[in-house]
C-alpha cells in the first residue's frame, strides 16, 4: 500500500518551532491539511506563512492558538478545527518543554518547574486526546502520535522530571490504544534520541552532543527532518495495523 496523506487533516501541537514546525512543513508538502497549533498566534501564523511559501500547491493550512495545558483553550481549538474541516485524521501531540540538562535533580528542583514540565509534556497529551479523539471517532477513526523521548526509557541524573513526564506519555499511548482501538483510534509513541531543535540546544552541552554524535550514523545526531517520512507513514493507511506501541528513533549502541 502506498504511503499517501493527501488531504488528510493533521493537527500538530507545538508547531511553531522545532520538531513540530518541521513536521508541519514536511507533511504539508506531502499534501496534508495542517492545523498549526501553538500558544503564540504570531508564531503559529509564521509557520502557516512558511507552509504557503514553501508548498504553494498544498492545501491551505490553518493557525490555531492554544496552550495545551489549558482545557478551555484545547476545547476551543478542537472546535475551530472541526468547524474548518469537519474532521481530524491525525493528531501529533508534540508540544512540550525541556529544562536545561541536569537542572532538575530530585533534591533541588523547584515545584513550579516540575509542574511546568508535567503540564506541558503530559497533561497536554491527555487534554488534546480528550478533545480531538472524539472528532476522529465520529469520522471513523484516526491516528494519534505522541512525541515521547528516549529519556522516558532511561534518564540520567537531573533528568528525572523530564524523563518521568515522557515515560507517562509512552504509557498513555498504550492505554489510549486499549481504550479506543475498537473505535478506530490508532496510537504510537515516538521516542527520538538526541535531535537538533532549539530546545535541545538549550538543554544539551556541546560536549554531550559531540559524544552522542560519535555513536550515531554518519557521525551526527538526529535532525527533525529525519522524522518527517516516518510521521507520514504513520498518518497513512499503510500503518493501519500499527498501534499501541513505542518506537525508538535512535541507533542501538553497545
State pLDDT tens for residues 167-218. Answer: 999 999 999 999 999 999 999 999 887 655 555 545 555 665 555 555 566 5
Mean pLDDT for the stretch of residues 35-42: 97
8 Å CB contact between 193 and 248: yes
Question: pLDDT of 50-91, one tens digit each?
Answer: 999 998 989 999 999 999 999 999 999 999 999 999 999 999
- Grid coordinates representing 205 are 552541552
Query: Which residues lie closer than 8 Å to 117 by C-beta, 6 or more apart?
Result: 97, 99, 104, 161, 162, 165
Q: What is the mean pLDDT of the chain?
A: 89
Mean pLDDT for the stretch of residues 90-108: 87
> Higher-confidence residue: 168 or 109?
168
Give pTM, 2 decimals: 0.90
Cα–Cα dist 207/71, whole Å = 39
Closest CA to 171 of 194, 154, 155, 148: 148
Closest CA to 9 of 65, 68, 88: 88
8 Å CB contact between 65 and 39: yes
The CA-based angle 106-20-186, given to 5 degrees, is 90
Catalytic positions, please? 162
Amino acid at each position: 500500500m502506498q504511503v499517501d496523506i493527501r488531504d488528510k487533516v493533521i493537527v500538530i501541537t507545538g508547531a511553531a518551532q522545532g520538531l513540530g514546525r518541521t513536521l508541519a512543513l514536511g507533511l504539508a508538502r506531502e499534501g496534508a491539511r495542517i492545523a498549526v497549533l501553538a500558544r503564540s498566534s504570531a508564531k503559529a501564523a509564521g509557520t502557516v506563512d512558511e507552509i504557503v511559501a514553501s508548498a504553494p500547491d498544498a492545501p491551505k493550512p490553518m493557525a490555531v492558538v492554544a496552550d495545551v495545558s489549558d482545557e478551555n483553550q484545547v476545547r476551543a481549538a478542537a472546535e475551530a478545527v472541526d468547524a474548518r474541516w469537519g474532521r481530524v485524521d491525525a493528531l501529533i501531540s508534540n508540544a512540550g518543554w525541556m529544562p536545561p540538562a541536569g537542572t532538575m535533580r530530585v533534591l533541588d528542583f523547584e515545584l513550579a518547574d516540575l509542574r511546568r514540565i508535567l503540564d506541558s509534556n503530559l497533561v497536554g497529551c491527555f487534554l488534546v486526546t480528550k478533545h480531538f479523539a472524539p472528532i476522529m471517532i465520529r469520522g471513523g477513526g484516526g491516528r494519534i502520535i505522541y512525541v515521547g523521548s528516549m529519556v522516558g526509557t532511561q534518564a540520567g541524573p537531573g533528568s528525572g522530571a523530564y524523563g518521568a513526564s515522557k515515560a507517562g506519555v509512552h504509557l498513555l499511548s498504550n492505554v489510549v490504544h486499549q481504550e479506543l482501538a475498537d473505535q478506530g483510534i490508532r496510537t504510537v509513541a515516538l521516542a527520538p534520541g538526541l535531535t537538533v531543535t532549539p530546545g535541545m540546544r538549550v538543554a544539551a552541552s556541546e560536549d554531550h552532543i559531540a559524544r552522542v554524535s560519535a555513536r550515531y550514523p554518519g557521525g551526527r545526531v538526529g535532525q527533525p527532518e529525519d522524522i518527517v517520512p516516518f510521521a507520514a507513514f504513520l498518518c497513512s493507511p499503510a500503518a493501519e495495523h500499527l498501534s499501541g506501541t513505542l518506537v525508538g528513533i535512535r541507533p542501538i549502541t553497545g
